[in-house]
Amino acid sequence: MAQDTSFDVALKRSNAIWEDLDVHPVTGDRPTGRLHLGHYFGTLKGRVDLQNMGVNTNVLIADYQVITDRDTTENIQDNVINMVADYLAVGIDPEKTMIFTHSAVPAANQLMLPFLSLVSEAELQRNPTVKAEMEASGHTLTGLLLTYPVHQACDILFCKGNIVPVGKDQLPHIELTRTIARRFNERFGKVFEEPNGLLSDAHLLPGLDGRKMSKSYGNAIAISMTAEETAKRIKKSQTDSERFITFDPENRPGVSALLTTASVCTGRPEIEIAEEIGNGGSGQLKKYVTESVNEYFAPIRQKRMELMADTDYLADVLNEGNKKANAIAQNTLDDVMDAMGMNYKF
């Protein structure tokens, strides 16, 4: 078809532009549970958009980061395979995007040793995100929690990532990654580029109670939930005693979070939805939110169910990604060892 041909040409040109721009994003998620709507609207959707514009993104399932602030790896294998299912269900295409886990890429982990030599204890101690995570965990500061930002630098630098799409809590880690890249280059010769954080401007979707969406607060809707589970969770969410629906995040966090949830799913502004419901009260609002979420996620959830019925395929996807990541990591490690004069030819 003529139209297809011209589209193909345009797509090729578009992809060539991205190649010229030399954009290599890296992102990651900790496999501590199921991904939820906050992840979806905050980052996953953007990754899929980038991918479909022809940008090759690397997506890391950051399994070693699970033990930074918790003392169990319970369900980790299940979480990893479910994370692959979430990724593919939302549209991440393993042909275009490399999906891999920390634990399967030894050469990337080995970068940790030279990188640790490039940072001071004081620099590690003053990372505000690490401090906040330590306080939230209620645990003492472990060596891994203190140094995981260095490990995150390994994630980013082994695959020569130059763009890191993240929320602002991750900026200290990007800063440290830049410092490590710069110091390595100064000390041993140029191997790395200094990456940049790409702040997502997607407005953060709050949890159903208006606080940050988090599984531990019980205020999250997981991508993997059924329509019934979604309805139940929304039904149980806390609103307030005022009947007339208005959008006022400060004074009406519950009602406003519901409006925002419906808004991101329907593309309609919160105020418009609020006006439409008006005197219908929270019952009608919840009904609308439930329908909006369930309608948006129906095809994604359908695909997810099909994927989970074939976990061998999901394992294959991960094995392929890990294989690719290993080849890239080995290359980078070779460059590092060359630069350090440690690629001994005995």
Report the interface residues with ligand TRP, using CB under 6 A: 26-30, 60, 62, 65, 152, 155-156, 164, 166, 170
Residues sharing a CB contact under 8 Å with residue 289, sequence separation 6 or more, in sequence order: 234, 258, 259, 261, 262
9, 1 in Cβ contact below 8 A? Answer: no
Beta carbon nearer to ligand TRP, 99 or 156: 156
Beta carbon nearer to ligand TRP, 156 or 274: 156
Beta carbon nearer to ligand TRP, 62 or 273: 62
Residue nearest to ligand TRP (CB): 28
Beta carbon nearer to ligand TRP, 155 or 270: 155
Q: Supply the minimum distance, in Å, between the C-beta of residue 336 and ligand TRP.
A: 18
Q: Supply the minimum distance, in Å, between the C-beta of residue 155 and ligand TRP.
A: 4
Beta carbon nearer to ligand TRP, 158 or 297: 158
Beta carbon nearer to ligand TRP, 134 or 259: 134
